[in-house]
Amino acid sequence: MFPIDKFQNIETPFYYYDTELLRTTLNTINNEIGKYENYCVHYAIKANANPKVLRIISEAGLGADCVSGNEIKAALEAGFPASKIVYAGVAKTDKEILFGIDNDIFCFNCESIEELEVIQQLAASRSKKARIAFRINPDVGAHTHSNITTGLAENKFGIPMADMEKVIMLAKNMPNIEFIGLHFHIGSQILEMEDFEALCNRINELQERLEEQGIVVQNINVGGGLGIDYENPNQKPVPDFKSFFEVYAKNMKVRHGQKIHFEPGRSVVGQIGTLITRTIYVKKGTKKEFCILDAGMTDLIRPALYDAYHYIENISNPNGVSKEYDVVGPICESSDVFAKNYDMAETRRGDFIAIRSAGAYGEIMASQYNCRPLPIGYLSEEFK
Ligand SMILES: *Cc1c(COP(=O)(O)O)cnc(C)c1O
């Protein structure tokens, strides 16, 4: 599966992106949304902004979901049209907002009254109208890691449901603001479809509330959050987009002419990426053996940051006898651990070790701590 003979002369660690799988994933998404005429998908750039990966995603026709001015810039450079760019974030700076206005992005997902006022001022300074949707905090808890739930009541993200009518009325009275919809995002790595169903029910409630006051919502953006199977990257390389889109089709009461927007990140790129690293030493402790890699938390921080599990395999010795290791990195931090008491084919110094399902929140979260170089990302087709 991995062209290890071609890896010999490349410096490790590096990210390897399976573009065939990326294209299959994008085709699956396009086939599924093709069943619904009102679905639009914006890829969440923050999951992986490698320019070569972004280019393939933009060529598949998806839009982009950005959370900073530089992400908008990266999206435009990768060929995403401004008319398909949405921009969320709790603390957009004036410079970032102006960049969005000057480029005529599709929509600002506005997260506070304070921000609404600033967008109004800045749009006025350019004699333009900015399209905005309000990010409403739906108080729907997702069954995922507490650091990545975002939809609970008291949270830095979004606007409380109780304030929804008030902010919409304010927006409607602003000359340089066009209110075009509502935005939600309940969290990440969600595998229980009931969580998305709960969001649908909440959206239905809110829409009824708004209709009683004659407020029409043209766009509903339900965010991202679909999870991937970190335990079995080979069995389920493409996430279950069919069920994901169906949950919304079945449970959300869609109004005439209304568009439904999605912002998947992890589910688009998570399984396409592998961190390729080498064993530097196999160190015998008193009770344990440590497999010490040349990749560390600076290259892939998810295990240290979220206690995340990644499937790890010794691709130089795939049929070797299984042994137990603590798989660790070289960084001067005790949390620089990929896995503890992990069963893996026996490793020797120099073996290639693959850390799987690292396409999302991997390369983009890399840092230079310990003066390390940033890992390079290669596409599988570059090895052909
Ligand atoms: C992070 C984020 C996403 C993408 O989340 P995934 O879990 O990677 O699908 C989508 N929308 C917003 C607003 C986000 O912050």
- Looking up residue 308, the CATH number of its domain turns out to be 2.40.37.10
Does 270 contact ligand 1 (Cβ within 6 A)? no
**Helix (H/G/I), strand (E/B), else coil: 48:** coil
Q: Which of 267, 302, 333 is the last residue of a domain?
A: 267
DSSP label of 213 = T
224 lines ligand 1 (CB under 6 A): yes
Q: 224 with 79, same domain?
A: yes
Find the CATH number of the domain harbouring 255. 3.20.20.10
Among 235, 267, 299, which residue terminates a domain? 267
Q: What is the pLDDT of residues 48-59, one digit of tens each?
A: 999 999 999 999
Closest CA to 61 of 102, 100, 23: 23
- Residue from 42, 263, 266 whose mutation best tests the ligand 1 pocket (most atoms within 8 A of CB): 263
Looking at the CA of residue 227, tell me the nearest atom of ligand 1: 7
Query: Do 255 and 349 have their domain in common?
Result: no
Q: pTM, whole model, 2 decimals? A: 0.96
Q: Which of 185, 186, 222, 302 to mutate to test the pocket of ligand 1 (most atoms within 8 A of CB)?
A: 185
Residues 229 and 301 grouped into a single domain:
no
The answer on 201 and 111 residing in a single domain is yes
Looking up tokens 């053996």, which residue turns up? Answer: 289
275 in Cβ contact with 303 (< 8 Å): no
Residue 144's pLDDT is what? 55
In this structure, the answer to whether residues 218 and 340 fall within a common structural domain is no
Q: Judge if 258 and 280 occupy the same domain.
A: no
Q: What is the pLDDT of residue 76?
A: 98
Same domain, 129 and 168: yes
d(CA 198, CA 93): 33
Do residues 25 and 138 share a domain?
yes
Task: Please report, for residues 188, 280, 367, the alpha-carbon distance to residue 298 in angstroms, rounded to integers and kept in the order given.
Answer: 22, 16, 5
Query: Considering only CA atoms, which of 119, 115, 116 is closest in space to residue 99?
Result: 119
Q: 48 and 162, same structural domain?
A: yes
Same-domain check for residues 263 and 286: no
> Ligand 1: distance of its center to the CA of 131 in Å?
20
Q: Is 359 in the pocket of ligand 1 (CB under 6 A)?
A: no
pLDDT in tens, 18-35: 999 999 999 999 999 999
Ligand 1 binding pocket includes 225 (Cβ within 6 Å): yes
Reported as half-sphere exposure (CB side, CA atoms, 13 A), residue 274 has a value of 27
Last residue in a domain, options 248, 267, 286 = 267
Q: Residues 135-168: pLDDT tens digits?
A: 999 988 666 555 555 555 567 789 999 999 999 9
List pLDDT tens digits, range 301-359. Answer: 999 999 999 999 999 999 999 999 999 999 999 999 999 999 999 999 999 999 999 99
The total of structural domains in the chain comes to: 2
Which SS3 state, helix, strand or coil, does residue 88 take? coil
**Domain range for residue 97?**
19-267
pLDDT in tens, 167-189: 999 999 999 999 999 999 999 99
With a pLDDT cut of 70, the percent of the chain lying above it is: 96
Query: Ligand 1 centroid to 130 CA: how many Å?
Result: 22
Q: How confident is the model at residue 366 (pLDDT cuts 50, 70, 90)?
A: very high
Task: Please work out whether the CB of residue 263 comes within 6 Å of at least one atom of ligand 1.
Answer: yes
Considering the domain architecture, whether residues 8 and 37 belong to the same structural domain is answered as no
Task: Please state, rounded to an integer, the average pLDDT across all residues of the chain.
Answer: 95
pLDDT tens, 70-106? 999 999 999 999 999 999 999 999 999 999 999 999 9
For the cut 80, the answer to whether the pLDDT of residue 119 exceeds it is yes
Using CA atoms, how far apart are residues 308 and 294, in angstroms rounded to an integer? 19
Task: Say whether both 295 and 189 belong to one domain.
Answer: no
Distance from the CA of 319 to the center of ligand 1, in angstroms?
A: 38
